[in-house]
Amino acid sequence: MEPRHRETRLKRGSPDTNPWAPAQGSGLGHAAKSVALACLLCVPILSLGAWRMGSYWGAIEQARLAALEESRAHTALVSAPALPLLDAETAARGRDLFTSACVACHGAGGTGIAGLGADITRSPFVAARDDNEMVKFLVAGRPNAQPVGMPPRAGRDDLTDEDLHAIVAYVRGLQDPRRMPALREPVLAGVAPVTAGELDAALAAAGGDEELAEYIASGTKLFAASCTACHAQGGVGIKGNGPSMIGNAFVKSLDDDGLLAFLKRGRDPSDPKNTTGVGMPAKGGNPALDEDDLLDIIAYLRTLEKGNGSASAAK
Ligand code: HEC
Ligand code: HEC
């Protein structure tokens, strides 16, 4: 006897279309038909596969050629006749902004700092891109790079597209010194003037002490211009780049002289006291900061030190 469930199943379709129906013709003829059908089906599938493989390898080859061309971009640039000299004021402004926003990671002159930012003077990536593409890159940054990320706009929301264009102009001169005009003396750039609202906030933080309030307000601006690439706006820290300054135990543990000495020296990854494996550059990497600037920054750090560590985004 057939099991019941098989019977009910057979009743559902007509015997002609039912795949479970017993074979009508000869078994051999059916086998031949099935093989033929299978082959017919295989042809488009196999050719589709071959086409897909072909375009896959084609894309790889294209990417390889593009990478090869890019890798030669800098050599091609410096061996070709020089492009016109850069506008001297734009390049100088770019240099001052570069010192404030980029030197911390890419070093003075952009030649790179091991473990922080790449050498951008001989970078094929830079040479292969036009100015607008470079500005687009700076806006996006490379936040997921290891071991440190390059934050969007280098962590400096205040930099306008015009500022970024000036920075790119300066980078063009670093990349091909034949284009670099003679530059005027550097000035501390990228530091916005203190607003009335900020002065009020600083006055509150200083408990009404007007002189201290001025230091704090100035320190807030200088911190925003030199330290936020790694410690973020408001000093809340960026995971992987720099620890939070909010309620920071190290800051609390030192008096102003001790902190000043620390900021002047920084803390190299090779320093046994280094806790992150990432370097804290001397003067936060901004050589334009003088002692008074650093003391203003310390006055600002003191206001953050009182904060509650749980408000921080990173260690
Ligand atoms: C917090 C550190 C940091 C700061 C500040 C910073 N960068 Fe970077 N930058 C990096 C890192 C990290 C990379 C990626 C390196 C990598 O991918 O290997 C990078 C990559 C680049 C590259 C691409 C280089 C290449 O060959 O791929 C350029 C160009 C660049 N930065 C320019 C700038 C400029 C200009 C500024 C200032 C406006 C700046 N960076 C600020 C860390 C930084
Ligand atoms: C290129 C990234 C970078 C920049 C720019 C930078 N720092 Fe740092 N900073 C670090 C790192 C990384 C550490 C932690 C080093 C370690 O592992 O001990 C650090 C540590 C510190 C510490 C000690 C905190 C602690 O918990 O050990 C202070 C204070 C500090 N930075 C202040 C500043 C100030 C002020 C500026 C701007 C003038 C600045 N930093 C700019 C990366 C940076």
Furthest C-alpha separation in the chain: 106
User: Which atom from ligand 1 is nearest to the alpha carbon of 124?
Assistant: 26
67 C-alpha to center of ligand 1: Å?
A: 19
Question: From first to last of its 315 residues, what are the pLDDT tens digits of the chain?
Answer: 455 554 444 444 444 555 555 555 556 666 677 767 766 776 777 777 777 878 888 888 888 888 888 889 999 999 999 999 999 999 999 999 999 899 989 988 899 988 889 999 999 999 999 999 999 999 999 999 988 999 999 999 889 999 999 999 999 999 999 999 999 988 887 787 888 988 999 999 999 999 999 999 999 999 998 999 899 999 999 988 899 999 999 999 999 999 999 999 999 888 999 988 888 989 998 888 999 999 999 999 999 998 765 444 444
120 Cα to the center of ligand 2, angstroms:
23
Q: Pick from 120, 131, 167 the residue to mutate for probing ligand 1's pocket: most ligand atoms within 8 Å of its CB.
A: 120
- Report CA(70)–ligand 2 centroid distance (Å): 35
Tokens describing residue 218: 């100035």
In angstroms, the CA 76 to CA 281 distance is 34
Closest ligand, as measured to the CA of 248: 2
Contact 223, 300 (CB under 8 A): yes
Ligand lying closest to the C-alpha of residue 309? 2
Of 230, 216, 219, 239, nearest in space to 281 by CA: 230
Tokens of residue 187, six digits: 């000035």
Please give the Cα distance from 300 to 315 (Å, whole number).
19
**Ligand nearest, relative to CA of residue 226:** 2
The tokens for 205 are: 């933080």
Distance from the alpha carbon of residue 230 to the mean position of ligand 2, in angstroms = 7
Do 186 and 95 meet the contact criterion of CB atoms below 8 Å apart?
yes
Q: Closest Cα partner for 212 from 226, 222, 225, 201?
A: 201
Q: Which among 100, 105, 223, 231 is the best mutation to test ligand 2's pocket, defined by most ligand atoms within 8 Å of the CB?
A: 231
238 lines ligand 1 (CB under 6 A): no
Ligand 1 neighbour 286 (Cβ under 6 A): no
The CA distance from 148 to 164, in Å, is: 21
**What is the C-alpha to C-alpha distance for residues 158 and 110, in angstroms, rounded to an integer?**
21
Q: Which two tokens stand for residue 124?
A: 């094929």
- 258 Cα: distance to centroid of ligand 2 (angstroms): 14
Shortest-distance atom of ligand 2 to CA 278: 12
Virtual torsion, Cα 223, 224, 225, 227, nearest 10 deg: 60
Q: Extract the tokens encoding 35.
A: 């093989």
In the numeric block, which tokens belong to residue 60? 């790889």
Q: Is 197 left (phi over 0), alpha (psi -120 to 50) or beta?
A: alpha
Of 175, 183, 184, nearest to 82 (Cα)? 175
